[in-house]
Amino acid sequence: MALITKIREKSGIAAAAIAISLVLFLVGSDIFQGKSSLFGSSSQEVGQIAGESIMIQDFQKKVEEATANYTAQTGKGPSEQEAASIREQVWNQFVLDIAYKKEFDALGLKVSEEELIDMVQGNYIHPSVRQQFTNPQTGQFDKTFVIQFLKNLKTMPAQQQQAWAAFEKSISQDRIRSKYENLLRLSNYVTQADAQKEYQAQNSKFNARFLFVPFFSVADTTVKVTDAQLEEYLAKHKDQFKGTNTRSIQYATFPVIPTKQDTAEFYTQIKKLAKDLAVAPNDSAFAMLNSDVRTPYLLPYAEIPAAVKTMLPTFQVGGIYGPFKEGLTYSIYKYGGVKKDSLFTMRASHILIAPANKSDSAKAQAKQRAEAILAQVKGGGSFETLAQMNGMDGTAQNGGDLGYFKNNGGMVKSFEKALFGFNGTGLMPGVIETDFGYHVVKVTDAKTNTSYKLAAINKTIAPSQATLDKVFTQADAFANANGTVGAFEAALKKDKSIIMMRADRLQENSSAVNNLANAREIVRWAFDDNTAVGDGSKKVFEQDNQYIVAFLTGKTEKENVKVEDFRIELTALVRNEIKGEQISKKLAGIKGTLEQIAQKYGAGALVETVQDQTLAGGMLNTAGPDAVALGRIAGLKNGKRSAVFVGDNGVFIAEKTGGVAAPALADYSLYKNQIQMMGVQRSSFYINEAIKENAKIVDKRYKFY
């Protein structure tokens, strides 16, 4: 009886325990993953904008909607790079919806229903509407297309109606943003004094002689910089050193290379495919089915790999040729003969000399220069080098190479006619005139209208699963044995075969680490709150044909700028300050002419002369465009010498030997407009930066993607 009473007494406790256990079971995983609202939901926060939290669920929903729209428009899912771009667009939309909207609302900016109608089908059509409703036959915007679309909108699927609503919202926001930016642009005012100052800076000229002792003339090793000096400099110049969240890592790479056995098995496979291709009833279909990289059956000469081109004259119909190697890909071909096309293909290089303007004299000068270059090439000069030195279009850096092109109107008519009228290869005898200027041309591949029937099987040699597993086991063992940077560095000293790389100052949203293109997993690990400086990844990261073990070696924080974050930059600046003081002190005690002072100072001191310099675009020989020195010299009176002063790049004593101030103008509007235009061009960027700074944006996307 006593036992029963005892059980009853304890039954309430038992029931409570069961209830608590049930609750923990239901929410436990969320609690321990930081997702439960019982303990806050900061771990689910993807960012903050103007004090508003953006939760990952809301952000991801928008990303999924944008991804669905992208897929519907393109007919394919986004690549990793495109997915990152979509997430960036969604984030910017949140910034617009929250941070910008607060500014818009404060000024009462909006787009009325009447204005929206006008933007879609009225007198002032929005550019996006024009783009969407351009008649494909005429290439012109057709308002009747818009009106017809809107009449049918209610009968369209819900998804299409939602897409149109989103489109109208986007053009409304774009219009409000334009209004806002235009308002702020109107506040950009340039005074008469500003315009006059700019005019003088561009047009007043001076001559000068100066003694210059560059900072680099004093060896860095002779100047000791202490941490206390770096701390002091940083404290005085905080505005110049903005903090950012970055991480620095070192990592060991374990490349996965096919073994001899992998290679032997691959060659066996290639030989079998070659035999099967030889007897395949439909050789092109068989090749497509068995290729890692598919290529068309009919190939113009221009698209045939170089190694195959050299052997092409020896090919016989029905023959099997190869394998031809390009990188890690091996190709075998079955030759099926040739086919004549209606269009010709050729390859050429050119050197374009464009006239300075459309006048006859400018054209004559351009033609004369082109003919002189043609003569140089005929005399044995390198076409590629002359193209790099003289070419006036984007092909110059590639030696003038235009690549392969057809006679289908892709080139200017006069240029195309001249080239396709030329037989063979080599330098064309005369220059070719087009609307762009005068061209010196060398045909590098003769015109042809022949396509080749080539059934190609392209196979890429790859390591076997056994090889992959073996290398992974090595990387995993290394990660477990070396959990810290110290252990990693010790391992490097013992084993010189370990490949070590480093990556400094990775950004939160970086997707690449050096040449590792898709390395978000490594970056996320480096920025994880649980990863401390000195930690090893323990986990092995897979990257293409290699495995990675990473170690966190450094970090910087936006809100906590330290000397270590900018040690190299700070050291250079402080060292130059010290050098400036030392050089100035030595120069101050020397009297005489500039030449005498330089001689007494000794090695490193230079005396130089400049003529017709301006404050806006001056160049002081060895010192370059030293702004401090230019300002000090321009401010001297003619015939006067300055005291010793420190410039951007060294220490100076300057004498102004002459100068002519620009004459006063009755109207400075040209210079006023220049300054105004520069302000307008920059305003959009500055507005965006100011709004983002004011919104105190915290971006935590790196924790999730």
**Strands (DSSP E) along 173-326, which ranges?**
205-214, 246-255, 298-300, 320-326
CA atoms of 177 and 587, how far apart (whole Å)? 57
Dig out the tokens for 646 from the structure: 């420190």
Label residue 474 by pLDDT band (50, 70, 90).
Answer: very high
CA atoms of 333 and 348, how far apart (whole Å)? 28
Check: CB of residue 518 under 8 Å from CB of residue 80.
yes
Three-state SS for 537? Answer: coil
Check: CB of residue 438 under 8 Å from CB of residue 391.
no
Residue with tokens 């109606």: 161
Identify any residues that bridge with 547 across adjacent strands, giving them in sequence order. 254, 542
CA atoms of 45 and 99, how far apart (whole Å)? 17
Check: CB of residue 366 under 8 Å from CB of residue 355.
yes
Dig out the tokens for 455 from the structure: 């059934």
pLDDT in tens, 534-578: 999 999 999 878 999 999 999 999 888 999 899 999 999 999 999
Label residue 186 by pLDDT band (50, 70, 90).
Answer: confident
pLDDT of res. 570 = 96
Check: CB of residue 622 under 8 Å from CB of residue 217.
no
Integer distance in angstroms from the first to the last C-alpha of the chain?
63
CB contact set of 70 (below 8 Å; sequence gap of 6+): 78, 82, 86
Identify any residues that bridge with 266 across adjacent strands, giving them in sequence order. none
For the beta carbon of residue 75, count every other beta carbon within 10 angstroms: 7
Task: Please count the residues of the chain.
Answer: 705
Who has greater pLDDT, 644 or 65?
Answer: 644
Who has greater pLDDT, 213 or 508?
Answer: 213
CB contact set of 323 (below 8 Å; sequence gap of 6+): 270, 274, 330, 331, 332
Q: Is the pLDDT of residue 348 over 90?
A: yes
pLDDT in tens, 652-670: 999 999 999 999 999 999 9
Label residue 42 by pLDDT band (50, 70, 90).
Answer: low
User: Residue 153 gets which letter from DSSP?
Assistant: G
Closest C-alpha among 95, 240, 191 to residue 691:
95
CB contact set of 703 (below 8 Å; sequence gap of 6+): 46, 524, 527, 528
pLDDT of res. 68 = 87
Enter the pTM of the model.
Answer: 0.61
